[in-house]
Amino acid sequence: MTIRIVPPSPIPTPIPFTSPSTAAEMRRCMLRVAFSKSARHRSLVSRGPAARLGTACHAVLEAVGRGALDEVSEEEWDSHVRALWERAVQSQWDDARHSTADSELGPPVSWPYYYLRLAQLELITRELARGRRTDDVASTLALDGFVGASSQVRLGYEVSLEGFGGKLRGQADRVTVGPEGLCVDDYKTGAIYEHVEEPDHVASLKEDYRIQLLDYAALYHEETRIWPDSARVIPLHGEPVLVQVDPLEAERTAREAIVLFDRYNALASQGRADSLASPSPESCSTCSFRGPCDAYWANVAESWVPPDRPSTAGRATDVQQLGDGSVVVTVEGTQGAPYLGLVRIRGLTPQQISGVDGVLEKGANLRVVRLRGHQKPGPAELWAGAESEVWVTPF
Amino acid sequence: MLSRSSETPFRLHCEELTGQTDLDDSIRRQRLFQDVMLEEDNRVVDPVDLLSVTTTMEAGIDIGGLQVVMMSNMPPQRFNYQQRVGRAGRRGDPLAIALTVCRGRTHDDFYFRNPERITGDLPPQPYIDLSRLQIVRRVVAAEAMRLAFTAARVVSTDSEGIAADLGNSPHGQFGSVAAWETHRTRVRDWLASAEAEPLLARAVDALLLEVPPPLGVPEQRDGLLHYARLELVDAVDQALSSGPAFQDQLGELLANKGVLPMFGFPTRSRLLYQRRPTTRDWPPTKNVIDRDLDIAITQFAPGAQTVKDKAVFTSVGVVGYERRGQWVNAIADPLGSPANAGLCRRCHALTTQEVDNCPVCGEPVGGEFGMHQISEPPGFRTDYQEGKPFKGNFEWAPGASRARVSESDPIAAAVALRGMGLTIRKGSSRIYSINDNEGRDYEFRRDPGGHGWVVPEAYGENPPPNVAPQQTLVRALASITTTDVLFLGLERAPSLAGLNLSPATVPGRASWYSFGFLLRSAAARLLDIDPRELRVGLRVFREAEAARAEVFLSDDLDNGAGYSTYLAEEDVMRALFEMIGPEAKEGTIAAQWSVHAQAGKLCDSSCHDCLRDYSNMPFHPLLDWRLALDMADLASGRALPEQRWLVRAAGAQNQLCEGFGFKAETFGGIPALLREDEKIVQLLTHPLWDTDTRSMGLTLARSHEEALRAYPDHRLAFANLFDAVHRPAYILDTA
């Protein structure tokens, strides 16, 4: 919540392997991977309560998938899920309180979707547990269809997979055999559909997620020499989305992941962080590291920024505290979008403009991201919220 | 009727006899009604057969024996009823009739259904409070100032340095506010002098004579003396420097700011001048109507009409008069220097800073938020014409806002009470009532005759000529009082997760007001006072990115007796909540209210046995005993007892399904309405539940998820049980 000093770019180091999710990150921008591997940069950027609850959801699903609640009766189910949930969330809160960016997060019950996620987990873990009780029998029967390969087939929950000379690794949430054949499941806690603002648009699975499923399919093939027939994304809420596995495409996406991995390590071994960047509207709009990222500021243009996600960088020409305690900062914007020139930012809190070295003063060079859209017609007036980040460049 | 009737016509001379009747007329009409005739009276024409009266005739005025009393509405309580009907049947009349005509409002309706209550309820005991330090301290201050101004021979001077009088304020003749700076040193020096000490001590001793502890003890005596001698001048300085003031006379300003006594002096009342006053009749007793300022800003607002003596008078503007030597002159600028006020009709916040958006909910100016320049006028005026004959109708005027405290005024830090969920703040605050003409303000022009500022549109078809269009002031009318205020809020605790108490919602506002009137009722029991001694209002403010509210209790009488401050003491507050709940404890208010809602004495929202009374009639549609107890439980640190509402849910579901043709469903234990034609599933929720998926609680989240799984192609909506009970048709539109 407090003001942050822009640190030097991360110094990337080679990584021992990649995973379907890291590969997805690399496809967007390899610098994001470097940022997320740097503890210093990671601690400066808010993960936010939504991502933390997502991690907690995965922890509960993983525990249930591994059989932690196999002996629990139906009557006691909710209370046991709640206990797992509270433990997982507590772990996230502990981590947040020790971080720089999330240290002021309130108690988890105040985090958005806290109870909704728990209610969703209560239902989905019931289905998961039912599956665990029936999968063994069903899968054994279905395995008869895999002539000559049954000994290779790996079914179950939290299945570790490795291939391509150890360069690509991952852990499938569940592998089952059913009416759809051999299927790899991946649980997702956030939105799974592409966001398209068109009235008649038919929702489609996020391309990142589809490719991750194919990567898992390829990994599974590497491990067992058997191609899964399908793969599914299972959201916390709503129907699972099935993806038919095309072995050729899956092989290709996995190979691409390996190419990106090799390229990353080659550049990392030369310490060339700037060469890792692939700034673009698609990549940067979802990136948490916009504040410290020089490549973002050098490339961001008006056409990149949706009206509700402005950002600005430049010299602070005025810092004024209003009678209601809020702060208005005027910036002579030289970078950012949608405005350049004098930009007035309203609604900042005193905490957001103060740090260990004191309070923001006129003349400081700022980068402000995660602003909200302007609230009234007229140019160069932006609105800050609790999620807005104020970064100060040291020089 | 008379033309077709064979009955003999009879005389019925009717006159008004109310608080607004001119004094001479009042005495004469009273006399004529009692058939006391003087020589100048016409014995055929003048006797009065029927008097139209108001509460001013309720007690203390002898109007002789009556045969019939007819009341045009239901009196507030049994003792008012008793006083009024008791006017008939005295002096040995064998027959007396009392007829009460009930109006179509909740209060009248209740007593119409329960006539035994208006005739048989226990009347409240009268009381004199000898325990409040604030009351005696203000009286000591007034006497100390009087002594100081007299003994120090303070003489006022006008702007040219010429000796002037010290004004005529009934709060004390201490000169103008502007002249205080020149008097201050002499007053301070005299109060601190050895000469003053015995005089002040005698005054304090006289006031504390026979006063029991806790006030009548030596420490309090010494404290009062110390205050008068060494702290009073600082208190005056502080009053002058704190916030807007609309008074010119120091005495009146100090009374308004709570330094001097107010009660009993009519300086908060404002006159509506029907004619220009003259020196012969100064201060005016004829051709004026007076009202308390809180009421005057509505009833005397430009365009509003007042009926007096069978004539309708239309208010057209504001004016103030003062006597200077032989002349009575209109004061130059009755609208004075304005103050800022932003009123939000969305979240009900008030701000006194100049802003473009509501600082609480973000509503922009031009939307449901409006910025106004407010003035507290010294008086109001008509068009100075004869009143028009009253034909049964007169013009309705927009009402002033409910009492509010500004979100931006300084306020004491909140203190959380250990083991409870309650936060309290106490201290002196300004309370605002504002008439902004429904957001349009009043566009005043200077009266060409120099009699204040007028609104040409208020004249109707005959606007005044020569109104200078270039001299326009756009203002809202305000009544501002400074008094001790107790604010009660809820601590932001995990127990509030999943709840929405925002004042921007109807159930949210209903819960705060219901809580406030519950506290008022309990406080009245605890202090053994009339509940109307305490005013209830809301302070709406922004905290942690959300609109939040606190309920406030303030002394309703001008300058009050300090009850609200006394209630803020921790022991008193805990005793108050002990008295309220919990529901399971016998003898508590919560236990009594739970019983009163059971079959046979069904109270589904509020009634005169729980939250309603005559004084809070404008709030009746919002008041709900379940919400009041819910809030009290949260304030006491207990979890929200969801069943208090959910036991009502099945009944509401049945009524709505039968009424609107919906199907009944249940998800996660929560009743729902299945609206098949529209493909909507509507969950019936607790009124305080947050229905935003980001912040909803576990019970609702479970129901939400089950409903979505059961009807994935339906849209999910919510209807809260407050609406189901109070305004069921609204539920049709909320999906």
pLDDT tens by residue, B586-602 = 899 999 998 888 765 67
Q: Does A148 score more than 60 pLDDT?
A: no
Can you say whether the dihedral through the CA atoms of B373, B378, B380, B381 is positive or negative? Answer: negative
Residue contact B357–A239, C-beta within 8 A: no
> pTM for this one?
0.78
Structure tokens at B594: 């739970």
Q: Rounded mean pLDDT of chain B?
A: 87
Distance from CA of A95 to the nearest CA of B (A): 20
What average pLDDT does range A327-350 have in this prediction?
Answer: 88
* Helix H or strand E segment including B396: none
What ipTM was reported for this prediction?
Answer: 0.80
Q: What number of CA atoms fall less than 13 Å from residue B723's CA on the CB side? A: 21
- Sequence letter at residue B553: L
The conformation of residue A43, written as its DSSP 8-state character, comes to H
Based on the number of CB atoms within 10 Å of its own CB, is B244 exposed (0-12), middle (13-18) or buried (19 or more)?
middle
Distances (CA, A) of A298 to A335, A394, B364, B592, B705: 7, 17, 35, 70, 45
Distance of CA A103 to the CA centre of its chain: 19
Q: Does B163 score more than 50 pLDDT?
A: no
Q: pLDDT tens digit string along B410-438?
A: 888 889 999 899 999 988 788 999 999 98
pLDDT at B703: 96
Q: Rounded mean pLDDT of chain A?
A: 87
In angstroms, rounded to a whole number, what is the distance separating the alpha carbons of residues B132 and B561? 6
- Smallest Cβ–Cβ distance between A324 and the set B353, B701, B704 belongs to B353
Closest residue in B to A237 (Cα) is B705
- Per CB-CB distance under 8 Å, the chain B contacts of A322 are 353
Residue contact B545–A385, C-beta within 8 A: yes
Vertex B332: Cα angle to B330 and B335 (nearest 5)? 105
Q: 3-state class of A4 per DSSP?
A: strand
In angstroms, rounded to a whole number, what is the distance separating the alpha carbons of residues A128 and A142? 19
The conformation of residue B308, written as its DSSP 8-state character, comes to E
B243 pLDDT band (50/70/90 cuts)? low
A147 pLDDT band (50/70/90 cuts)? very low
**What is A66-99 written as a DSSP string?**
TTTTTT--STTHHHHHHHHHHHHHHHHHHHHHTS
Q: pLDDT tens digit string along A258-309?
A: 999 999 999 999 988 888 999 998 889 889 899 999 999 999 988 887 766 7
- Sequence letter at residue A85: W
| C-alpha closest to that of B428 among B439, B412, B417 | B412
Picking from A194-203, B173-182, B341-350, B384-393, which range would have the lowest pLDDT averaged per residue? A194-203
- Per CB-CB distance under 8 Å, the chain A contacts of B698 are 115, 118-119
* Mutual angle of helices B232-241 and B180-192, in 10-degree steps: 160
Strand pairing category for B163-164 and B156-157: antiparallel
B671 pLDDT band (50/70/90 cuts)? very high
pLDDT at B606: 93
Q: pLDDT tens digit string along B694-722?
A: 999 999 999 999 999 999 999 999 999 99
Q: pLDDT tens digit string along B36-66?
A: 999 999 988 999 999 898 877 776 666 777 8
Q: Does A55 score more than 90 pLDDT?
A: yes
- Sequence letter at residue B665: E
* Mutual angle of helices B196-208 and B218-226, in 10-degree steps: 140
pLDDT at B160: 46
In angstroms, rounded to a whole number, what is the distance separating the alpha carbons of residues B478 and B429? 16
Residue contact A237–B357, C-beta within 8 A: no
Structure tokens at B376: 């507290």
Picking from A286-290, B212-216, B487-491, which range would have the lowest pLDDT averaged per residue? B212-216
In angstroms, rounded to a whole number, what is the distance separating the alpha carbons of residues B591 and B580? 8
A350 pLDDT band (50/70/90 cuts)? confident
Structure tokens at B411: 């306020």
A105 pLDDT band (50/70/90 cuts)? confident
In angstroms, rounded to a whole number, what is the distance separating the alpha carbons of residues A10 and A274? 9
pLDDT at B315: 94
DSSP-assigned beta bridge partners for residue B116? none
A333 vs B412: which has the higher pLDDT: A333
Distance from CA of A320 to the nearest CA of B (A): 14
What average pLDDT does range A322-344 have in this prediction?
Answer: 85
Q: What number of CA atoms fall less than 13 Å from residue B75's CA on the CB side? A: 25
What average pLDDT does range B498-521 have in this prediction?
Answer: 95
Strand-by-strand arrangement of the A365-369 sheet = A4-5, A389-392, A365-369, A311-321, A327-337, A341-348, A381-383
Q: Give yes or no for a contact between A283 and A29, defined as CB atoms under 8 angstroms apart.
A: yes
Residue contact B695–A375, C-beta within 8 A: no
- Smallest Cβ–Cβ distance between B701 and the set A116, A239, A386 belongs to A116
**Portion of chain B with pLDDT greater than 70, in percent:** 93
Closest residue in A to B360 (Cα) is A324
- Per CB-CB distance under 8 Å, the chain B contacts of A122 are 702
In angstroms, rounded to a whole number, what is the distance separating the alpha carbons of residues A133 and B495? 37
A7 vs B392: which has the higher pLDDT: A7
- Per CB-CB distance under 8 Å, the chain B contacts of A77 are none
What average pLDDT does range B531-546 have in this prediction?
Answer: 88
Distances (CA, A) of B51 to A348, B15, B16, B27, B33: 64, 5, 6, 13, 8
pLDDT at B162: 44
Residue contact A324–B351, C-beta within 8 A: yes
| Phi/psi at B532 (5° precision) | -70, -5
A243 pLDDT band (50/70/90 cuts)? very high
In angstroms, rounded to a whole number, what is the distance separating the alpha carbons of residues B91 and B95? 11
B161 pLDDT band (50/70/90 cuts)? very low
Residue contact B704–A376, C-beta within 8 A: no
